[in-house]
Amino acid sequence: MEEVREVLEDYRRLGRLAVKILAYRFRIFTAVMVLSINSIFSVFYLFLGLLEIVGSMPKIPLLGYILWITPFILVFLLTYVLLGIFKKTFIEIPKRIKPREKFDINVGLIFVIAYTVPFILVNTIPVPLPYWESYGWYYALLAASTIVTVFYEKRLSKVLPELSIKIFYTITVLLLVFSPIPFALTVFGNSELIEISSSIIVTLCYLIASLMEVYRAERLA
């Protein structure tokens, strides 16, 4: 009888270990995805800034549209590649981890709304603030990460606590902490300084949040 209990306990330990491995991989996937997407857009906007400085922005509208959709195409390809790399993880998650309640969140829809609506509003609603076009996107990004935190991350942690992540919450907090800086920089009257400084702040926030998520993954061991 004692041997049977030991065997059952071994199976339970193996089951817990399997769940920890899945949670570890999911957190690493999330950290890599978020940091990579931020890197794509950061490089893209720095590239646009360089084109504006040297006066080489495309004069043909079609080329301009192609230039603007390029980072979104790269993000799509990146997502496809990462999902392929972590394919086994997402196949095993439903087998090993059962939701505490029905998990019917449309993740894709949440992210699409989060990263489109705030930016559309920022660029269409007249805001009587100086140099708003240079840093308005920063506050749109803050709104986007807040939406994802509330409607995806918190819900995920409740329904699938084993897959709990805090990367978007961390991004939201960091962006909020540094949010006065872009507006404060308007006193210098230099739109390029505001835009570049805001980009650097965002990149640092995403880097810190990604590293913290990797640290949380390591603590699962």
pLDDT tens-digit profile of 126-151? 887 888 888 998 999 999 999 999 99
* Highest mean pLDDT: which range of 11-15, 31-35, 54-58, 123-127: 31-35
Residue 75: the pLDDT is 83
- Return the DSSP state at 162: G
Q: 40-54, 64-78, 81-95, 198-212: lowest mean pLDDT where?
A: 40-54
Which single residue is written with the structure tokens 């965002």? 202
pLDDT tens-digit profile of 162-173? 889 999 999 999
For residue 51, is pLDDT > 80?
no
Q: Which among 161, 168, 148 has a CA at the least distance from the CA of 93?
A: 161
**Contact at 8 Å (CB) between 25 and 89?**
yes
Show the DSSP H helices in 55-131 as ranges: 61-85, 87-96, 107-114, 117-124
Within 13 Å, how many C-alpha atoms sit on residue 168's CB side?
24
Residue 7: the pLDDT is 46
Which single residue is written with the structure tokens 């301009």? 64
Q: 5-14, 122-131, 165-174, 201-210: lowest mean pLDDT where?
A: 5-14
Residue 205: the pLDDT is 94
For residue 106, is pLDDT > 80?
yes
Q: What is the mean pLDDT of residues 110-129?
A: 87
Residue 8: the pLDDT is 45
Residue 29: the pLDDT is 93
Q: What average pLDDT does the structure give for the chain?
A: 83
Instruction: Please list, residue by residue across 166-193, b when 16 or more beta carbons sit within 10 angstroms of its beta carbon and e when fewer do.
Output: bbbbbbbbbbeebbeebbebbeeeebee
